[in-house]
């Protein structure tokens, strides 16, 4: 605030004064912020005003958010639920101290009698202290209390009834500026007699219900942990006292071999970073994200089980859930677990995970547990012989390649006849996909720095979304004639296609682009099962074969590895050889001269 625009001076003292925008007056509850700074020193007043400016900025931001009804984001929802979870954890830490059998823990939980302050004649005070000292908590009572609370929460969760956690969700909404306290007359007939405060909040909003559900799930998790802590504490006390009584029948514990590595006591998700590090040369970020998804689904079954204690039965239960689970259930059904999604899908009828998706997750788990076995984290792979039942493939598999007639129809459509579309991702992404064979996400995310020009040599450095590696693809002469390099030269900012929409469905960042292209094909009456933006990659490889381009160069163009010993010998195909091969590439029957830059 260099101008000190909110400072006023009266009789030598400074004041902070700032008007509230008219549209926010009702939400903020005043027409201006006004505060005496209690100083005549301008520098001190300036610093104080700067702090008040930041404070009122935040208040206006919350008010504007409430005005437009902007929903809570996923990260804000998670952060609000984490606050509640931390309070629960703090309570559980206190509680576990209380049921610990040691005198030290008991004193820490309940305090000690202040015997030093009691004189010989102060017996009454001492007796009163003893009488008022809290007794050791009864684990049976605490267990029954936790079980009752857990049963209530699970029942409410199943019924989408969030009243039990409304106080926490209300507070989070107030902090986000999506709820406010309003003062209303206690009696409508006598508005000046008394005022009461009410919370102005809409609990039917989808983001409110998502937040309340997340909080409820965290509370359920905390109660389950509390019940485990009670049992662990009792078992610890019994172990220190000698043999357990015959009447006690604790839940069976799967023994973990002492011959295994120390990390065998960790959960699979706690080992993911180590797995990522070991896989960094073979797998890209997209594949590793898919591994994390499969492991996250598994831990919905195994919860806090260490990796060495996961059994074949756990994997079978996981497989049954994944097979019956609706696709993209978190975004479509707004629930967190597969069990909830399956129950909710009885009425929603969203398509289930395909056998291909299930097979992918099974393959990921099998690979992950094979890695764990090699590191001596488990004694056997519980996914070793798990297979997915699939229908036999039809002999007549529909082609995923775009025919010359289809290409003609696409590139002579209204999209390409209007010169005003040349600055849009919709104009260039299909062309680049056709002439580079790159994946849709790799093209949509292109940056200007990835387009290289070295004299007569021109190419694009493609960053593979599968392997994370980079490989050069020469720029086809047709792309030059259509004006791609001129488009790159005029581009502003680092991104070539800043207008390409990014979705919120996890690792498939450019899902909206894929959806747009599906609608585009539909409008041209070209849509059929399996035909999408990826068809350009198939078409490119087919054209390379038909143009007589050798297999090793075809693979180099699209970033494929041959997977043979031969591939480990010699250097990669050079850029000069790639450019020579790219110049031979032809698409039979395709004439794009109407797109050439005039």
Look up the CATH number of the domain holding residue 465. Answer: 1.10.443.10
Q: How many helices (H) and strands (E) does the chain have?
A: 24, 8
Q: Provide the H-helix boundaries in 508-550.
A: 511-523, 535-546
Q: How many CB atoms lie within 10 A of CB 385?
A: 8
Q: Are residues 44 and 98 in the same domain?
A: no
Residue 94 has pLDDT above 60, yes or no: no
SS3 454: strand
Angle at 556 between CA 552 and CA 559, to 5 degrees: 130
447 within a domain of the structure (yes/no): yes
Residue 592 has pLDDT above 90, yes or no: yes
Domain boundary among 374, 394, 419: 374
Alpha carbons 52 and 74: distance in angstroms, whole number:
30
Sheet holding 7-10, edge to edge: 7-10, 13-19, 32-36
pLDDT of res. 183: 63
What average pLDDT is seen over the chain? Answer: 78
Specify whether the CB–CB gap between 460 and 473 falls below 8 A: yes
SS3 245: coil
pLDDT of res. 447: 92
pLDDT of res. 505: 46
Q: Are residues 419 and 497 in the same domain?
A: yes
pLDDT of res. 4: 57
19 within a domain of the structure (yes/no): yes
Specify whether the CB–CB gap between 16 and 35 falls below 8 A: yes
Residue with more model confidence, 129 or 47? 47
pLDDT of res. 584: 92
Share of the chain above pLDDT 90, in %: 21
86 within a domain of the structure (yes/no): yes
Q: Are residues 411 and 509 in the same domain?
A: yes
- Count the alpha carbons within 13 Å of 305 in the hemisphere toward its beta carbon: 20
Domain boundary among 68, 83, 102: 68
Greatest mean pLDDT among 223-237, 322-336, 470-484 lies in 470-484
Residue with more model confidence, 559 or 462? 462
pLDDT of res. 282: 76
Domain boundary among 241, 272, 301: 241
Residue with more model confidence, 565 or 530? 530
Stretch 401-419: mean pLDDT, rounded? 90
Alpha carbons 341 and 347: distance in angstroms, whole number:
10
Specify whether the CB–CB gap between 326 and 350 falls below 8 A: yes
Query: Can you read off the two tokens belonging to residue 136?
Result: 């050791």
The pLDDT confidence band at residue 118, using thresholds 50, 70 and 90, is very low
pLDDT of res. 23: 67
Lowest mean pLDDT of 132-136, 245-249, 267-271, 582-586, name the range. Answer: 245-249
pLDDT in tens, 214-227: 888 888 887 887 77
Specify whether the CB–CB gap between 409 and 524 falls below 8 A: yes
Q: Are residues 102 and 207 in the same domain?
A: yes
Alpha carbons 83 and 73: distance in angstroms, whole number:
16
Q: Are residues 215 and 288 in the same domain?
A: no
272 within a domain of the structure (yes/no): yes
390 within a domain of the structure (yes/no): no
pLDDT of res. 568: 52
pLDDT of res. 193: 59
Lowest mean pLDDT of 74-78, 271-275, 544-548, name the range. Answer: 74-78
pLDDT of res. 168: 80
Q: Which of 68, 76, 69, 90 is nearest to 169 (CA)?
A: 76
Q: Which of 524, 522, 495, 529 is nearest to 510 (CA)?
A: 495
pLDDT of res. 109: 39
Q: Are residues 209 and 284 in the same domain?
A: no
Residue 189 has pLDDT above 70, yes or no: no
Residue 59 has pLDDT above 50, yes or no: yes
Lowest mean pLDDT of 246-260, 343-357, 368-382, name the range. Answer: 246-260
Alpha carbons 435 and 452: distance in angstroms, whole number:
16
Q: Which of 275, 270, 252 is nearest to 306 (CA)?
A: 270
pLDDT of res. 225: 78
Q: Are residues 515 and 554 in the same domain?
A: yes
Q: Are residues 317 and 224 in the same domain?
A: no
pLDDT of res. 93: 53
Alpha carbons 491 and 500: distance in angstroms, whole number:
14
pLDDT in tens, 423-481: 899 999 999 999 999 998 899 999 999 999 998 999 999 998 877 788 999 999 999 99
Q: Are residues 277 and 189 in the same domain?
A: no
Burial 60-96 (b: 16+ CB within 10 A, else e): bebbebbeeeebbeeeebeebbeebbeebeeeeeebb
Alpha carbons 6 and 56: distance in angstroms, whole number:
11
Lowest mean pLDDT of 63-72, 148-157, 234-243, 394-403, name the range. Answer: 234-243
Residue with more model confidence, 118 or 386? 386
333 within a domain of the structure (yes/no): yes
Q: Are residues 344 and 325 in the same domain?
A: yes
The pLDDT confidence band at residue 90, using thresholds 50, 70 and 90, is low
Alpha carbons 61 and 532: distance in angstroms, whole number:
42
211 within a domain of the structure (yes/no): yes
Residue 566 has pLDDT above 90, yes or no: no
Place of tokens 């090793």: 552
Query: Between the CA of residue 23 and those of 27, 47, 52, 138, 513, what are the distances in Å?
Result: 8, 28, 21, 57, 37
479 within a domain of the structure (yes/no): yes
Residue 332 has pLDDT above 60, yes or no: yes
Domain assignment of residue 38, given as a range:
7-68
Q: Are residues 434 and 577 in the same domain?
A: yes
Lowest mean pLDDT of 14-18, 316-320, 508-512, name the range. Answer: 508-512
Q: Are residues 189 and 103 in the same domain?
A: yes
Stretch 540-562: mean pLDDT, rounded? 87
Specify whether the CB–CB gap between 236 and 342 falls below 8 A: no
Q: Which of 291, 270, 275 is nearest to 507 (CA)?
A: 291
Residue 375 has pLDDT above 70, yes or no: yes
- Count the alpha carbons within 13 Å of 270 in the hemisphere toward its beta carbon: 13
pLDDT of res. 49: 87
Give the phi and the psi of residue 239 in degrees, each rounded to 5: -65, -35
Residues 6 or more apart whose CB falls under 8 angstroms from that of 239 comprise none
pTM: 0.44
Q: Total structural domains in the chain?
A: 4
């Amino acid at each position: 605030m260099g101008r000190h625009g909110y400072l006023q001076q009266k009789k030598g003292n400074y004041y902070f004064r700032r008007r509230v925008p008219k549209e926010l007056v009702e939400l903020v509850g005043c027409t201006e912020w006004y505060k005496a700074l209690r100083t005549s020193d301008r520098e001190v007043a300036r610093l104080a005003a700067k702090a008040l400016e930041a404070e009122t900025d935040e208040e206006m931001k919350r008010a504007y958010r409430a005005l437009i009804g902007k929903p809570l984001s996923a990260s804000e929802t998670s952060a609000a639920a984490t606050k509640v979870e931390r309070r629960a954890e703090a309570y559980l830490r206190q509680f576990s101290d209380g049921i610990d059998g040691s005198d030290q823990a008991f004193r820490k939980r309940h305090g000690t009698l202040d015997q030093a302050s009691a004189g010989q004649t102060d017996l009454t005070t001492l007796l009163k202290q003893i009488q008022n000292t809290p007794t050791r908590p009864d684990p049976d009572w605490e267990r029954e209390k936790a079980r009752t609370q857990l049963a209530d929460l699970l029942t409410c969760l199943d019924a989408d009834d969030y009243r039990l956690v409304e106080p926490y969700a209300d507070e989070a909404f107030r902090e986000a500026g999506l709820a406010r306290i309003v003062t209303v007359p206690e009696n409508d007939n006598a508005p000046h007699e008394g005022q009461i405060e009410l919370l102005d909040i809409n609990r039917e909003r989808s983001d409110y219900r998502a937040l309340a559900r997340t909080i409820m799930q965290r509370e359920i998790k905390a109660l389950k942990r509390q019940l485990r802590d009670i049992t662990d504490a009792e078992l610890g006390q019994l172990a220190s006292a000698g043999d357990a009584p015959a009447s006690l029948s604790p839940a069976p514990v799967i023994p973990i071999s002492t011959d295994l590595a120390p990390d065998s006591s960790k959960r699979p998700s706690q080992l993911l970073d180590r797995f990522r590090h070991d896989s960094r040369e073979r797998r890209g970020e997209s594949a590793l994200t898919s591994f994390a998804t499969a492991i996250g689904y598994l831990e919905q079954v195994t919860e806090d089980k260490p990796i060495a204690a996961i059994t074949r039965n756990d994997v079978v239960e996981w497989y049954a859930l994944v097979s019956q689970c609706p696709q993209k259930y978190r975004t479509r059904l707004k629930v967190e677990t597969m069990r909830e999604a399956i129950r909710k899908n009885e009425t929603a009828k969203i398509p289930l995970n395909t056998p291909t998706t299930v097979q992918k997750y099974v393959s990921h788990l099998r690979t992950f547990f094979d890695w764990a076995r090699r590191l001596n984290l488990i004694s056997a792979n519980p996914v070793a012989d798990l297979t997915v039942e699939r229908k036999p493939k039809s002999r007549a598999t529909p082609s995923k390649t775009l025919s010359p007639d289809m290409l003609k129809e696409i590139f002579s459509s209204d999209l390409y006849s209007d010169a005003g579309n040349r600055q849009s991702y919709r104009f260039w992404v299909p062309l680049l996909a056709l002439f580079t064979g790159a994946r849709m996400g790799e093209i949509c995310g292109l940056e200007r720095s990835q387009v290289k020009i070295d004299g007569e040599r021109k190419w694009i450095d493609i960053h593979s979304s599968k392997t994370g590696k980079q490989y050069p693809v020469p720029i086809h002469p047709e792309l030059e004639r259509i004006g791609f390099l001129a488009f790159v030269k005029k581009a502003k900012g680092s991104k070539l296609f800043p207008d390409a929409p990014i979705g919120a469905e996890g690792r498939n960042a450019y899902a909206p682009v894929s959806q747009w292209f599906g609608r585009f094909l539909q409008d041209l009456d070209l849509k059929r099962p399996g035909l999408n933006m990826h068809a350009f990659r198939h078409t490119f490889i087919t054209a390379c074969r038909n143009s007589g381009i050798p297999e090793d160069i075809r693979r180099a163009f699209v970033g494929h590895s041959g997977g043979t010993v031969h591939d480990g010998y010699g250097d990669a195909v050079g850029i000069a050889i790639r450019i020579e091969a790219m110049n031979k590439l032809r698409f039979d029957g395709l004439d794009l001269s109407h797109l050439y830059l005039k």
